Chain A
């Protein structure tokens, strides 16, 4: 899990001056959607983009498009070097004016409605292979996914595992397109020198609406600071056609020494590497601070034992992929709840990773029915642990009755008789 976690984070490998250059270069960018033209290094994510192009497989990385800058112009600009002469820099100044106006508007709009900051532009480039691209001045990564038939569950909607797989994919692709997957652990040079890696500690997912087979969802992801020594990665999943928000998620990461396995503060050198890539936004999901209780045999109402990883559950480091934990957690959730309700919210705390030879058990307790002011909502507590006792994940889930919400076009297709 650690390795997987690490590679899912986001690490710049440029040092500060380059980043400042990149911010200056943003000013000269046009706001036009260049429709898939590969932007050369002077694009707003600037030097990061250089490295992405250098490292990414040439046959794939042709769809990076940079949109208008959103966040205001940073005040810490220092002198910048001249950007190389490229197509972008030869755009006339009127587009810069347009960009500035759009930026101000978007920034203002974003302040008003946090969840609705994405402009709805029907002419947005459709990402042909679902590779994804950097948008919003290089700080946000966007990727589309078409829901495949094997990703839907028994109720014909995408499973929560599918949604979380998409989140994981965009996180890794974010790093990749910014040229950050150096040694496979995704650590910055500063982190590598000190044997540091990122580890996910907490994840919150709120699902407003589940997509179905054939739907196309758009996933946006970005990173921010979390406290003094952590990092937060947020995701926003929307219906790519209507813009309706489907899912919001937020994860918290801390730095750990991979040899001693002890948590570490972010060293100054590393802070300089990563901070330019933080978006200073509010969390996309309101943090659920309630303590997660540890279940045991006496408090758990449902237990499923003998859970073992299959070969396909393992990542390249032979650790179990994080997302599989969610499936195991749901194994002990009573079928009655799973059949009549849908998961609307989930909070997970990650404790330990497990590997091929682990044998796990999943415990569930129903902790609340009809509370939180919502009729019919159910809350459960969960524990996933090795049979010998070590905790892997603690969790809390909330469930609402199926078809309780009516969110326009994304209603589940009524079951057809076969």
Chain B
């Protein structure tokens, strides 16, 4: 799924200068492949939303798509920010998105992150085929795949709460891009969560990773924040933590998980959010009953398809200097001596048939608020 931002007239000029395309609308025209689009996207006093809408309607070949897009844009609660370098959208939590804790499930949060990322890309006029690929990428049969997803939730929203999610993307290394999110409770303005994800480019036919070529980079670099902007700016933050592979024998497991029809995307691959649910399936119930998920990090290794059967494995993450409680196989690592309410786990999802790793993860749990 993709996420390219769009900027308004002022920033377009600035960005172009900085991108060595001073004075021309070269990259923009080539991206749009429509002379009219270049004109409409240029100097005007349109607000970002209007600019997006007018460009939307001129993006080439799919009139149905742009009409649906503009209606949705008008009614959508989201739009690009003033500087055009990020996108914000509000969501209300629906009753069926709430789980046993009466708060939104982590899958709901992950779905909303994915939704706002897709809307961001769509607001820039990129394809709505679910992969949010730019025209150049489509021409080269390239798609984005998630490499890592890291979500921290400080306070889970409840049914009918309205949250606002801001998202933006930027370059990451030679083969990747990252997308960051900040979640806020609209009523209080407080930050209730943060997330970051890393994406790599893959050829959809060969399924091999590919470096982000310059012409693809041109297409979106213009619209990303110039200075690195990180949802997790602090050093050594958990989003960078390496995840060890869980080794046998494993403490907790849930075997034989199968994708449901609803888990499959348009290309019959299991969608990212389903893996989160699978990871949690092998969590010990005593933790699920008393704790809530604070942090989850997933490294995606291999994709999973309709007929695959998956085993979900969980074990405590042992930290240096930590105390281990219990002796009879119910050991749970405690992170700090003074914080008995926090638990950390390592996870592994692998194919039942041959044990190939699908993804690995790490979670942190805190005691539920009373």
Residues of A within 8 A of B (CB): 57, 59-60, 126, 128-131, 144, 146, 148-150, 153-156, 159, 161, 165, 168-169, 172-173, 176, 212-216, 240-241, 306, 310-312, 314-316, 318, 321, 323, 327-328, 330-331, 338, 409, 411, 413, 415-418
Pairwise interchain contact A149-B115, C-beta atoms closer than 8 A:
yes
Shortest CB-to-CB span from B33 to chain A, Å, is 15
Q: Across the interface, which residues of B come within 8 angstroms of A57, CB to CB?
A: 160
Q: B129 contacts the other chain (Cβ, under 8 Å)?
A: yes
Pairwise interchain contact A418-B267, C-beta atoms closer than 8 A:
yes
Cα distance, A162 to B260, chains bound together (Å): 15
Q: Across the interface, which residues of B come within 8 angstroms of A59, CB to CB?
A: 162, 186-187
Q: B92 contacts the other chain (Cβ, under 8 Å)?
A: yes
| In-complex Cβ contact of B99 among A156, A312, A411 (8 A) | A312
Q: B130 contacts the other chain (Cβ, under 8 Å)?
A: yes
B residues 52-110 in Cβ contact with A at 8 Å = 62, 64-65, 67-69, 71-72, 75-77, 90, 92, 94-96, 98-102, 105, 107-108
Shortest CB-to-CB span from A355 to chain B, Å, is 11
Known: A146-B76, A169-B94, A310-B277. A338 touches B118 (CB 8 A): no
Known: A169-B95, A315-B100, A413-B64. A60 touches B129 (CB 8 A): no
Closest A-chain residue to B258, C-beta based? A306
Pairwise interchain contact A311-B76, C-beta atoms closer than 8 A:
no
Pairwise interchain contact A60-B99, C-beta atoms closer than 8 A:
no
Pairwise interchain contact A418-B204, C-beta atoms closer than 8 A:
yes
Pairwise interchain contact A316-B98, C-beta atoms closer than 8 A:
yes
Closest A-chain residue to B1, C-beta based? A149
Q: Across the interface, which residues of B come within 8 angstroms of A327, CB to CB?
A: 260-262
Q: B127 contacts the other chain (Cβ, under 8 Å)?
A: yes
Cα distance, A216 to B20, chains bound together (Å): 42
Pairwise interchain contact A316-B138, C-beta atoms closer than 8 A:
no
Shortest CB-to-CB span from A107 to chain B, Å, is 30
| In-complex Cβ contact of B281 among A60, A176, A311, A318 (8 A) | A311
Pairwise interchain contact A331-B260, C-beta atoms closer than 8 A:
yes
Q: B365 contacts the other chain (Cβ, under 8 Å)?
A: no
Pairwise interchain contact A146-B100, C-beta atoms closer than 8 A:
no
User: Beta-carbon contacts of B1-13 to A below 8 Å, as 1s and 0s?
Assistant: 1000000000000
Pairwise interchain contact B71-A214, C-beta atoms closer than 8 A:
yes
Q: Across the interface, which residues of B come within 8 angstroms of A155, CB to CB?
A: 266
B residues 18-47 in Cβ contact with A at 8 Å = none
Pairwise interchain contact B262-A129, C-beta atoms closer than 8 A:
no
Q: Across the interface, which residues of A come within 8 angstroms of B98, CB to CB?
A: 315-316
Residue with the greatest number of chain A CB neighbours at <10 A, chosen from B95, B99, B273: B95
Q: Across the interface, which residues of B come within 8 angstroms of A338, CB to CB?
A: 261
Pairwise interchain contact B111-A330, C-beta atoms closer than 8 A:
no
| In-complex Cβ contact of A146 among B72, B129, B256 (8 A) | B72
Known: A60-B162, A312-B107. A150 touches B271 (CB 8 A): yes
Shortest CB-to-CB span from A29 to chain B, Å, is 26
| In-complex Cβ contact of A150 among B95, B111, B162, B281 (8 A) | B111
User: Beta-carbon contacts of B259-292 to A below 8 Å, as 1s and 0s?
Assistant: 0111011111001010001001100000010000
Pairwise interchain contact B75-A126, C-beta atoms closer than 8 A:
yes
Pairwise interchain contact A156-B266, C-beta atoms closer than 8 A:
yes
Known: A168-B95, A169-B94. A214 touches B68 (CB 8 A): yes
Residue with the greatest number of chain B CB neighbours at <10 A, chosen from A60, A155, A173, A214: A214
Q: B359 contacts the other chain (Cβ, under 8 Å)?
A: no
Cα distance, A240 to B280, chains bound together (Å): 37
- Told that A165-B94, A212-B68, A315-B98 touch, could you supply 12 new A-B pairs with CB distance under 8 A? A146-B72, A146-B75, A148-B112, A149-B118, A169-B96, A173-B95, A215-B71, A312-B107, A312-B108, A327-B260, A413-B65, A418-B138
Q: Across the interface, which residues of B come within 8 angstroms of A314, CB to CB?
A: 99-100
Q: Across the interface, which residues of A come within 8 angstroms of B267, CB to CB?
A: 418
Cα distance, A156 to B64, chains bound together (Å): 14
Q: Across the interface, which residues of A come within 8 angstroms of B111, CB to CB?
A: 148, 150
Pairwise interchain contact B107-A148, C-beta atoms closer than 8 A:
no
Known: A214-B71, A241-B71. A168 touches B131 (CB 8 A): no
Q: B305 contacts the other chain (Cβ, under 8 Å)?
A: no
| In-complex Cβ contact of A149 among B100, B130, B280 (8 A) | B130
Q: B136 contacts the other chain (Cβ, under 8 Å)?
A: no
Pairwise interchain contact B261-A316, C-beta atoms closer than 8 A:
no
